Amino acid sequence: MLNTIKKDLITALKNKDTLRVSVIRFLLSKVQNMEIELKISGEKFTDDHMLRILKKQIKMRKEAIDALTKAGRTEDIIKEEAEIAILQEYYKEE
């Protein structure tokens, strides 16, 4: 799954899809942080770890949408929903 995400980053960069590039880079930074944590404990990064990261990121964006709805910030809500859609593309693969 991680290889697919990295390939998608390259494709997004070529297509100048700034939102997708931003979401994937943020996701890959979270992956790298978890890999460092796992390395300390002697574990290897697996697709299960990736799914946990994706689930957490989707949940965070849904919570942000709730807060933005209360604040009446529709432009930001649309952006968060688009980010969720990108993350769910990978979450549904498993």
Mean pLDDT for all residues in the chain:
93
- The label of the residue with tokens 């990295």 reads 6
The dihedral sign for the CA sequence 53, 58, 63, 64:
positive
End-to-end alpha carbon distance in the chain: 9
Q: How confident is the model at residue 94 (pLDDT cuts 50, 70, 90)?
A: very low
Residue 80 has pLDDT above 60, yes or no: yes
User: For 51-73, how does the pLDDT look when each residue is reduced to its tens digit (9 = 90+)?
Assistant: 999 999 999 999 999 999 999 99
Does the global pTM surpass 0.85?
yes
Question: What are the domain boundaries of the chain?
Answer: 2-91
Determine whether domain 2-91 maps to CATH 2.60.120.1440: no
Q: How confident is the model at residue 26 (pLDDT cuts 50, 70, 90)?
A: very high
Q: What is the mean pLDDT of residues 83-87?
A: 96
